[in-house]
Amino acid sequence: MGGIAAFFRLVGAARVFARHDALVPEEFREQIPFAARLGARVLRLTTFGGTSGGRLGERFTAALGELGPSYVKLGQFLATRPDIVGKALAGDLTALQDRMPPFPQAEAKAMVAAELGKPADALFDAFSEPVAAASIAQVHRARVKGRADEVAVKVLRPDIEGRFQRDLEAFYLAARFAERFAPAARRLRPVAFVDTLAASVREEMDLRLEASAAAELAERTRGDAGFRVPRIEWELTAKRVLTSEWIDALPLRDPAALKAAGHDPARLATLVIQHFLTQALRDGFFHADMHQGNLFVDPAGNLVAVDFGIMGRLDPLMRRFMADVLYGFLQRDYRAIAEAHFAVGIVAADRSVDAFAQALRAVGERVFGRPASEISMARLLQQLFEITDMFGMEMQPQLVWLQKTMVVVEGVARDLDPEHNIWEASRPVVERWMKATLSPETRLREAAEGLGDFGRTLQGIFSHAAQAAASLTQSGVRLHPDSAALIAEEEVRRTSHVRWAIWLGALALAVIALRFVL
């Protein structure tokens, strides 16, 4: 029954797209099979008030907006994938950011009461009409009872979980149709794309997870000049309600207003790039939805991030890989970039390092010597992944999120400063992280942590051996006294060897460190 309902919802959505001439667009009509063109024509004849004016991106965006929150979220997700939809369409889809109509204040207050256990009027002295509305939630400005400071109260849309679940069934059906009947679409893996969207949406609809992400990012970036995260009000936060510090700030989407307020857009563009890279490289935990609607500037000139529903993580190996790749391009050292790929096992070991370095040169050399405004780091990473795919690359989900965020962040920086030099902004962050990672102190700390892990492993082995011996004894199995003595002597001898190995290893590391220092 669910499949039938999903099919009819999909037909309904197709009619909306057809009415806006976005189902089988006029621009691509000659490239589409006749049967698909005929079906779209029939659907359009069954609709009223259709339009074919404007660019494809504008028509597609209008259709998504009409279909509601789930489709708006789909559009926002597609906006981060210019590799799938093209740069022009991705740019038009950014109009969907924070442009949803709000739901009534009374419904928001009812949600607050249900989630926090008290009426909104008992918790807040003031609770405004919606000040921002997005696909999943909207924000109200409020003042906590008995306090002078103001807070932002984020409230989920009513029945958003159920609506998303129903629409996701239709998305999956469309994705399966595409994989089965459109061979050209298979390489884009539409079902996997919907999987990623579904996982992202599930996390975004539990505001406790968003609050936790905000608190973690605030802790990691506490000492970073020029960047801040609003404080979370935990006692006023639940699954469907999130309360945080209110920030009086200007949105980053209006460079003219920022300049009128005395802020330098070029400086802000550099801050956006550098703080994103710092979070990704140093912490392995970054805001993965850094579009203009989620970034503000306070009166002191600090970059303020909001909306932490989508976060990215990079493990230490991927962070080192990312730094090696960026540093390699900065130095035009293609052999080093190739070796970085092989070192982490992303490229099949039976491929040629030299051949891969040659292919990388074709990616890198085409951008050097061109004006900074024409060099796209995000595009470079996309081409890098395309080349790597030719060499048997196994794509890492961590890197997909990284590339998506890089596309968005680079777009934000270029909107602020069209001549912004992404590479020069990146260089100090990458070089600082490389120096910190390769320093003798870091190597010694990592070695000490490794030795600690080694010691804990040995302790675990000895503990298991003791437990086994005790188990044998309890089972009635006895060891001959001479055997027990020999085992004890061997244990002492082996433990002594382990101690000597640890001390010798530490001494060797100290000598290496001194060589680096001297």
Catalytic residue among 92, 289, 307, 415: 289
- The residues with which 126 forms a beta bridge, in sequence order, are 143
Other CB atoms within 10 Å distance of the CB of residue 466: 11
Q: From CA 509, how far away is CA 457, in angstroms rounded?
A: 21
289 catalytic per annotation = yes
Query: How far is it, in rounded angstroms, from Cα 18 to Cα 104?
Result: 31
Closest CA to 156 of 251, 75, 237: 237
Residue 212 token pair: 């936790």
Beta strands at 124-133 and 137-144: parallel, antiparallel or unpaired? antiparallel
Q: Are 209 and 203 in contact (CB under 8 A)?
A: yes
34 contacts: CB under 8 Å, gap ≥ 6? none
Checking DSSP bridges between strand 227-228 and strand 303-305, what pairing results, if any? parallel
- Residue type, position 10, single letter: L
Sign of CA dihedral 310, 377, 295, 414: negative
CA distance 403 to 410: 10
Strand partners of residue 156: 137
Q: Give CA torsion, residues 437, 439, 441, 446, to 10 deg.
A: 40
Q: Using the CB atoms, write b or e for 316-335: b if 16+ within 10 Å.
A: eebbbbbbbbbbbbbeebbe
Which residues are marked as active site?
A: 289
